[in-house]
Amino acid sequence: MKIAKSLLSRRMFTGLAGAAMIAAALPTASFAADVTIPIIVKDTTSFYWQIVLAGARAAGKDLGVNVPELGAQSEADINGQISILENAVANKPAAVVIAPTERKALGKPVDEAAKIVPIIGIDSAADSKAFSSFLTTDNTQGGRIAADGLAAALKEMSGKVEGKVAIITNLPGVGSLDQRREGFLDQVKTKYPGLQVIADKYADGQATTGLNMMTDLITANPDLVGVFASNLIMAQGVGQAIAENKLGDKIKVIGFDSDDKTVGFLKQGVLAGLVVQDPYRMGYDGVKTALAVSKGEKVEANVDTGANLVTKANMSDPKIDALINPKVK
């Protein structure tokens, strides 16, 4: 009888211990399920930002975190993004991940938001020192890579690196774009003295404007040999102008970022190269870093997510293929 009672007591203890272990595990699972980390991009309609969102979505799934996908429908909608940030912070999430649309305009809103929740920056800078961490391409280096790519394409075309070139920037005052422009111009000045920058233009965030600007450049400068289109939207517009005028063998264009259209242009020889970032990693690691910060963990202040020059010659390499054909869904 005593043995039976002893066995029963041990079974009850084991059951209670197991229940205690399960109960101890529940707060962690509950914490993850209850954590909300919004991600705010510049333009939810752009393929580039859809890749960023896909990375954030995957991180949310892997980490058990709720990740609302927010953003305006145009990179030019600066006030729209500020309102989205303010509304997101008002809901008291664990942290917020944001790609600021414009450096100066987003500085104060980020400062104010960071007084309430941790803010993780991705892709583009803002005039704020309140970011808990910042994950981005070294955009200055990206501009240098573009200049090197353009020089290589010109040398392959004519045997020399000289002639008139231009740069078209999507919008003024955008941190990442300013850095790409500066990197490109500096590399041309210091490394390629035979290149003459005859146009340094800003567009309004529309591919059609890039198309029109490029068409005007072609008309006004029949001896133009190269162009740097510093983001996806401008690469689309400039590429369209080159394609319509059948000038891929006379004007070499280096774009920045990729989608089906620009990759198609690359295959056809309309574009000579694309500087490609790793937007999926920005989204994924942005959310992962935000979760770590919300738990009080130490994270790196600045993370370089890398950039690569894609050409027709290397686009089938496995590493490059993964960058230009990401899994968005």
pTM of the model: 0.80
Name beta bridge partners: 255: 274
Render each residue's pLDDT in the chain as its tens digit; 329 residues: 444 444 334 443 344 334 333 333 333 334 455 899 999 999 999 999 999 999 999 999 999 999 999 999 999 999 999 999 999 999 999 999 999 999 999 999 999 999 999 999 999 989 999 999 999 999 999 999 999 999 999 999 999 999 999 999 999 999 999 999 999 999 999 999 999 999 999 999 999 999 999 999 999 999 999 999 999 999 999 999 999 999 999 999 999 999 999 999 999 999 999 999 999 999 999 999 999 999 999 999 999 999 999 999 999 999 999 999 888 87
Structure tokens, 265: 């242009």
Q: Contact 147/192 with Cβ under 8 angstroms?
A: yes
Range 139-276: architecture per CATH: 3-Layer(aba) Sandwich (3.40)
**Helix 279-294 and helix 47-63, axial crossing angle in degrees, nearest 10:** 40
Separation between Cα atoms, residue 246 and residue 244, nearest integer Å: 6
- Locate tokens 């942005």: which residue? 286
149, 151, 153, 156: CA torsion to nearest 10: -140
- What is the location of CATH 3.40.50.2300 in the chain? 34-137+279-305, 139-276
Structure tokens, 316: 């089938």
- Choices 3.80.10.10, 1.10.260.40, 3.10.450.50, 3.40.50.2300: CATH for 34-137+279-305: 3.40.50.2300
Name beta bridge partners: 39: 69, 97
Separation between Cα atoms, residue 328 and residue 51, nearest integer Å: 5
